[in-house]
Amino acid sequence: MRVTTEYLESVNPSCDYYPEGCDEAAWRKFRGDLSDFRQRLSDEFFLDFNLSSESSIQDSTHGAEIGFPSILVVGEGRVVPCIRVSNHARLYVITVSRRITPDTESRVETVAERLGFRYTPESMFGLPFDQRDRFNGDLFNQLYDYV
């Protein structure tokens, strides 16, 4: 399920680090759901996806990153695409989405939708992830990066 800009603007208007009501139990459930997302992607593609560890996430609204196996990455570029999952509203974005095929994007979206995650196409934020000013406080920052 894809989201609208209006919906995104309503998710984290005060730029909170964690969603309201987030506690240790909620965080453990979130990490479990992310592990399930990663495993379902691995099963769907018959490839090993990886999930970032909690200690590697330093971005305040950036809850986790699921890395694509290199065989699914196409084209050239410094930045490797990944699935960034927000701490807020079970949202995710595929960064540098031009470096995965439309079929891969569609399959990821299908898996995510079955698990209740909501897709935010990178195009909703204007410039691609690897070309944007990432510290400007815009909607991308409020949901997926530094606040």
pLDDT tens string 22-31: 777 888 888 8
pLDDT over 90 percentage in the chain: 41
Quick one: tokens of 50? 């990886």
pTM assigned to the model: 0.85
d(CA 81, CA 74): 10
Take residue 55 and report the two structure tokens written for it.
Answer: 């200690």
Cα separation of 37 and 30, whole Å? 10
Average pLDDT, the chain: 84
Residue 75: which of 100, 57, 58, 38 has the closest Cα? 100
Assess contact for 42 and 48: CB atoms under 8 A.
yes
